[in-house]
Structure 1
């Protein structure tokens, strides 16, 4: 069996963990950087990446697609969809990656599955956005297609200026009510899901003076004991978005846990640092089991 691992940085921790997981279970894998993706359409359809014929692989694991522009991203997603339609096993499926990457689509999926989620507004209207912030007092602005905690803003009704800047730059604003955490320090919970199992959970503790807890923004991973409510919410959120593996972010509130986001291309480094849990090997094992190897 031979698999492709779609990743931009060959030193990426999670990509290496998945590769090593395949190797320990007797399967081969190769890194694929989709910046060299090429589709030849003629009498036959040929899709190649980094010199590899993608249709000769047994499956793809998507760690990150990379990007250089909106047209490029659309091409890469359409290529994944074409490969899936041609029978290639892809984890996560293109539809799930797209749904997880688009925070509006994620919010809709969580709402329809009746999963606790912050009140949210997505709008192109400055007045609607200002009204939402005023209604809740504080709101978090997130890029609709953001990642790694970048460009998060905490907005208050006292200063509408940032809303104008966001709309001028992006044309749309995604707002969530700011939920007060019951935790002793600013943190959230990242639950790592693989298939129908929860691999483990960590607290992501924000650095001093910050409310942003993403590990890529200086947050620290700490052990989080699993509770039934965490597992239930994480598995339901994973199912709602359609991901095979995911990082489900939860926040502790006076009303219980709520799901903030579902990451369809999560890093497994934090749960390994905190617990020694190898999510990469679990992903590889799950894929091989799905293919009944």
Structure 2
């Protein structure tokens, strides 16, 4: 038992948030789950105040550390604002896992993609544009493309637009997407074998991998769409690629999303937060405990 006061930024009641809070309480005797919607930055008093469900106020700058399991239920530009608030805690000496600056670079899908591209990480053919004509031309080249919001998780808001030979229908579909997402992000839809992989890293060190297997007729493998977790043992070469992909972000905990194609492995994204359930159900690894070991090692 230690006397470290470590708070968990997450979604109260959600499995991963509560599992991490349970592990911290068992190790330290302290438990605090923080919903960022109830956090206020008071620059006059120079404090970052959280009001819990009982109305008790906690100054987060008085904690030893904050572990960010989830900054919001869904990614949005507002998620960036919440991370900015955590920079105040960092400036006051609170260790934030992962650092706010590292997470900020991953909330926006475009920022993640640009970093991966600059590091020569293989990804699906990608176009980012506000030009409807350029997007339509890309769909024709790709035959089918996955259009993705710049802020989203678990494939929410994504859609597939195919080239059926009807130019008017294609343009109408693209214009419907761009009406909600002015900066379009689209990737060639790849012919994958019904599964992709999550590769987990703690403090930059490889921990484990698991497969996500699509459920039914879903085009994506997310658990949100009915997918399930399964074991997966990657090659040393694939581990090295995933390690290289996550390295520029300097995260304390992350999952790298990988797929295997006929032309070799590709990286879809590096997660700002990563998940615990896939590691537990797919690989039999308690990733929450491994993450906490890392945090305690850093604090010590």
TM over 0.5: yes
SS of structure 2 residue aligned to 1:79 = helix
Structure 1 distance, partners of 2:88, 2:138, is 40
Counterpart in 1 of 2:243? Answer: 235
Counterpart in 2 of 1:31? Answer: 33
Alignment partner of 1:221 out of 208, 226, 229: 229
Structure 2 distance, partners of 1:213, 1:67, is 19
Are 2:48 and 2:88, in contact at CA under 8 Å, matched by a contact in 1?
no
Are 2:198 and 2:256, in contact at CA under 8 Å, matched by a contact in 1?
yes
Shift of 1:172: 1.8
Count matched residues. 287
Counterpart in 2 of 1:45? Answer: 46
Are 2:123 and 2:267, in contact at CA under 8 Å, matched by a contact in 1?
yes
SS of structure 1 residue aligned to 2:229 = strand
- Describe the superposition over 1:201-241 as per-residue Cα deviations: whole angstroms up to 9, x where unpaired: 11101112122101122111000013212321222222123
Unmatched 5+ stretches in structure 1: none
Shift of 1:15: 1.6
Are 1:67 and 1:73, in contact at CA under 8 Å, matched by a contact in 2?
no
Return closer, same or farther for 1:68/1:191 CA change in 2, 3 Å cut-off: closer
SS of structure 2 residue aligned to 1:122 = strand
Alignment partner of 2:186 out of 175, 188, 207: 175
Q: Are residues 1:102 and 2:108 paired?
A: yes
Shift of 1:136: 1.8
Shift of 1:71: 7.0
- Describe the superposition over 1:231-280 as per-residue Cα deviations: whole angstroms up to 9, x where unpaired: 21222222123322111110101122110111112221122112321111
Are 1:187 and 1:211, in contact at CA under 8 Å, matched by a contact in 2?
no
Are 2:146 and 2:160, in contact at CA under 8 Å, matched by a contact in 1?
yes
SS of structure 2 residue aligned to 1:128 = helix
Unmatched 5+ stretches in structure 2: 52-56, 165-169
- 1:50-69 alignment runs, 5 A limit: 50=51, 51-66=57-72
- Describe the superposition over 1:109-131 as per-residue Cα deviations: whole angstroms up to 9, x where unpaired: 11111111112111111111112
Return closer, same or farther for 1:69/1:148 CA change in 2, 3 Å cut-off: closer
Are 1:118 and 1:176, in contact at CA under 8 Å, matched by a contact in 2?
yes
Counterpart in 2 of 1:247? Answer: 255
- Describe the superposition over 1:45-69 as per-residue Cα deviations: whole angstroms up to 9, x where unpaired: 0111122110110111111222799
SS of structure 1 residue aligned to 2:21 = helix
- Describe the superposition over 1:113-163 as per-residue Cα deviations: whole angstroms up to 9, x where unpaired: 111111211111111111211222221111110111112212222333321
- 1:191-202 alignment runs, 5 A limit: 191-202=199-210
Return closer, same or farther for 1:276/1:11 CA change in 2, 3 Å cut-off: farther
Structure 2 distance, partners of 1:145, 1:131, is 24
How does the TM-score come out when normalised to structure 1? 0.91
The alignment's C-alpha RMSD in Å is 1.9
Alignment partner of 2:97 out of 91, 102, 111: 91
